[in-house]
Amino acid sequence: MTKQGTLGVAVIGTGRMGADHVRRIDSVTSGARVAAVVDIDAERAKQLADGIEGCTAFTDAAAAMTSPGVDALLIASPGPAHEATLLQAFAHDLPVLCEKPLTPDAASAQRVLEAEEKLGHRRVQVGFMRRYDSEYLELKALLDSGQFGRALMLHCRHRNASTPPGFTSQMMINDSVVHEIDTTRWLLEQEITAVTVLRPRPSSAAPDTLSDPQLVLFETSGGAVVDVEIFVNCGWGYQVQCEAVCESGSARVGDGHAMVTNSAGRWGGDIDMDFVSRFEDAYDRQVQRWVDATRRGEVEGPSVWDGYAAAVVCEAGVRAQATGERTPTLLTERPALYR
């Protein structure tokens, strides 16, 4: 794609996340347009496509990939469908932004890893959007500068107001803590080598089938320790916080202190109610960076290796939940393509 050309994007999956990406590319992102939308719900796809000039609706991802004007894919379908779509994208050598998870398990993630390695060049950026959040970027720059010495610990909090019906304890790891898995690896530039999960008494607000909250502990290849409080039925809002404790200082992000009000004998501020509002700027920045890189003929950001590593740690985390034991992770050797 030339720098001057407009990137034609097919958005695959038009649920909450996919529809938001359609809106984003159509009205926020520069240098790109929505050329196609894909969903097994034909009517939902058609309704979205009808509102965008030059956009075609499909029920089959493979058909969209060969549609005139489609230069790249944004995959926002459910995780179990990702592997097949990614392998089809490799067959057409199309650039991809794939929402997390890369795939739902380590075995399928490794198959995608091997397929991209066989292709011989990177084609996929995985949608770990916290790497594009302004506060996390500031924390990453501070840690990289070495101003406070080595990072020794990370203290993380991940809270949701409530969960939808059917949300399970395993999903607390696979759908929520997966973000802390990626940010730990990114911030520290170390692999997670073991996971332990502690379960305090459940909150009375948690469904009977859900052990909530939990405390997840990571050990890393560089000797750091990370604790993650995951509390998905806290009731008061959506909060994501991270404090890095270093040799000669500490730094914390996510407090949400952009504005504090004083009124009627009380002081305080707003708390976001979900991830879409909290990380809206990060999603905007992520998609724009992906579009810009793709138009330059480059791939940057979280790689298939990062998606694979997250899947391996998630599986260890789910085993640790079930056993209550410290559970080591086992990664394959990192291919040269991702070094």
pLDDT value, residue 1: 43
| Calpha distance 121→118 (Å, rounded) | 8
Model pLDDT for residues 295-321, shown as the tens digit of each residue = 999 999 999 999 999 999 999 999 999
Going by pLDDT thresholds of 50, 70 and 90, the confidence category of residue 270 is low
Average pLDDT, the chain: 93
Q: What is the layout of strands, in order, in the sheet containing 7-12?
A: 56-58, 32-38, 7-12, 72-75, 96-99, 124-127
> Is there a domain that residue 28 lies in?
yes
E-assigned strand segments in the chain: 7-12, 32-38, 56-58, 72-75, 96-99, 124-127, 151-159, 192-198, 214-220, 225-231, 239-246, 250-253, 261-263, 266-268, 327-328
Kindly give, in sequence order, each residue whose CB lies less than 8 Å from that of residue 293, ignoring residues fewer than 6 positions away: 125, 299, 300, 301
Is the Cβ–Cβ distance between 157 and 179 less than 8 Å? no
Burial 28-51 (b: 16+ CB within 10 A, else e): ebebbbbbbbbbeeeebbbebbee
pLDDT at 155 over 80: yes
Q: What pLDDT, on a 0 to 100 scale, did the predictor assign at position 278? A: 81
CA distance 58 to 43: 10
Residues 75 and 206 in one domain: no
State residue 265's pLDDT score: 74
Residues 87 and 150 grouped into a single domain: no
pLDDT tens track for 194-238: 999 999 999 999 999 899 999 999 999 999 999 999 999 999 888
- The answer to whether residue 192 sits within a structural domain is yes
Domain extent for 148 = 135-274
Specify the number of domains making up the chain: 2
Q: Is the pLDDT of residue 16 over 80?
A: yes
Q: What is the pLDDT of residue 255?
A: 85
Residue 74, classed as helix, strand or coil, is strand
Would you place residue 279 in the very low, low, confident or very high pLDDT band (cuts 50, 70, 90)?
A: confident
Can you tell me which residue has the tokens 């890893």?
A: 113
Q: Give me the CATH number covering residue 246.
A: 3.30.360.10
- Phi then psi for residue 224, to 5 deg, are -80, 160
36 and 49 within one domain = yes
* Within a domain: 93: yes
As a whole-number percent, the residues of the chain with pLDDT over 90 amount to 89
Q: Report how far residue 251's alpha carbon sits from residue 149's, in angstroms, rounded to the nearest whole number.
A: 12
112, 143: one domain: no
State the pLDDT confidence band at 277, using cuts at 50, 70 and 90: confident
| Token pair of 293 as six digits | 């890189």
Q: For 177-192, how does the pLDDT look when each residue is reduced to its tens digit (9 = 90+)?
A: 999 999 999 999 999 9
Task: Give the Cα separation of 291 and 126 in Å (integer).
Answer: 13
Q: What does the alpha-carbon distance between residue 58 and residue 50 come to, in Å, rounded to a whole number?
A: 12
Whether residues 124 and 157 fall in one domain: no
Neighbours of 230 (CB within 10 A): 22
**Residues 6 or more apart in contact with residue 310 via CB below 8 angstroms:** 100, 101, 102, 128, 178, 181, 182, 185
Inside any domain, residue 318: no
pLDDT band at residue 175, thresholds of 50, 70 and 90? Answer: very high
Q: Do 42 and 168 fall into the same domain?
A: no
Dump pLDDT digits (tens) for 99-152.
999 999 999 999 999 999 999 999 999 999 999 999 999 999 999 999 999 999
Looking at residue 20, its pLDDT comes to 95
Element of type H or E holding 325: none
- 21 with 92, same domain: the answer is yes
In a domain, residue 1? The reply is no
142 lies in the same domain as 259: yes
CATH number of the domain at 296, please. 3.40.50.720
Contact yes or no for 218/195 (Cβ under 8 A): yes
Global model pTM greater than 0.85: yes
**CA separation for the pair 212, 235 (Å, rounded):** 12
User: Is the pLDDT reported for residue 266 higher than 80?
Assistant: no
The token duo for 115 is 């397929």
